[in-house]
Chains A and B, each alone.
Chain A
Amino acid sequence: AQKVTQAQTEISVVEKEDVTLDCVYETRDTTYYLFWYKQPPSGELVFLIRRNSFDEQNEISGRYSWNFQKSTSSFNFTITASQVVDSAVYFCALILDSNDYKLSFGAGTTVTVRA
């Protein structure tokens, strides 16, 4: 069975600092999809990014960037120049590509950005 681990429970930073969230996953499948979601205090999960297992190219989208390394089964996420509005719980999640349709979530990392 697949598993997603987010070792960081909480991270607190001052505004404009960069924040990197760690995610390590376990799966025997060779094809899978990785996601990051944000859950602000309102409770709604907001989709941020998606990567598939055969594309290890790292990208930047605005203040968000991610580092996908298949060799270490890691999918880390960075917020550059953090803002107070970035305060939320961030979840890493995994979907397999073999008749398994569920998102498997990590436990989440609470990010607090102080002004």
Chain B
Amino acid sequence: DAGVTQSPTHLIKTRGQQVTLRCSPKSGHDTVSWYQQALGQGPQFIFQYYEEEERQRGNFPDRFSGHQFPNYSSELNVNALLLGDSALYLCASSLGEGNEQFFGPGTRLTVL
């Protein structure tokens, strides 16, 4: 039973560029959430997708957008990258409300 997978593992971009991160949920899960984790801090919620719609959004600018596909996989897009976007981006999947979210290994994004 495959867990949550994310790609790529690492990514280096320059300021102003755009990036797309990908996530495949754990088998049987229908909900995908994205979190940003800066060094030395706890993860911060970006948004959650359910039934291909953004169900909830955290305090992130519109430069952060996402998508969920019919097979429940998801993408996170960040436009006009800033140095402050450098972080570990974590994808989590879950089934139902209030249940545990299972996390992928993350994508380490470095913006130069």
Residues of A whose CB lies within 8 Å of any CB of B are 33, 35, 37, 42-47, 50, 52, 91, 93, 95, 97, 99-108
How many inter-chain contacts with C-beta < 8 Å in the A-B complex? 60
The 10 closest A-B CB pairs, nearest first, are A105-B42, A102-B45, A45-B103, A44-B105, A33-B98, A47-B100, A43-B106, A101-B56, A50-B100, A101-B48
Contact A100 B90 (CB under 8 A): no
Seen from chain B, the residues whose Cβ lies within 8 Å of a Cβ on chain A are: 31, 33, 35, 41-45, 48, 50, 55-56, 58, 88, 90, 92, 97-106, 108
Contact of B43 among A47, A50, A105 (CB under 8 A): A105
Query: What CA separation (Å) do A50 and B102 show in the bound complex?
Result: 12
**Cross-interface CB contact of A106 among B33, B35, B42, cutoff 8 Å:** B42
Are B55 and A101 in contact, with the CB atoms below 8 A?
Answer: yes
6 A-B pairs within 8 Å (CB atoms) are namely: A44-B103, A46-B103, A97-B97, A101-B31, A102-B45, A105-B44
Contact among B43, B97, B105 with A103 in the assembled complex (CB-CB below 8 Å): B43
Partner of B41, one of A44, A45, A93, A107: A107
CB distance from A74 to the nearest CB of B (A): 18
In the complex, the chain A residue whose C-beta lies closest to that of B94 is A101
Which B residues touch A50, using CB under 8 A? 99-100
Q: Which residues of A contact B50 (CB under 8 A)?
A: 101
Q: Are A45 and B43 in contact (CB under 8 A)?
A: yes
Q: Which residue of chain B lies nearest to A107 when distances are taken between CB atoms in the complex?
A: B42
Return chain A residues, CB-CB under 8 Å to B92. 45, 103
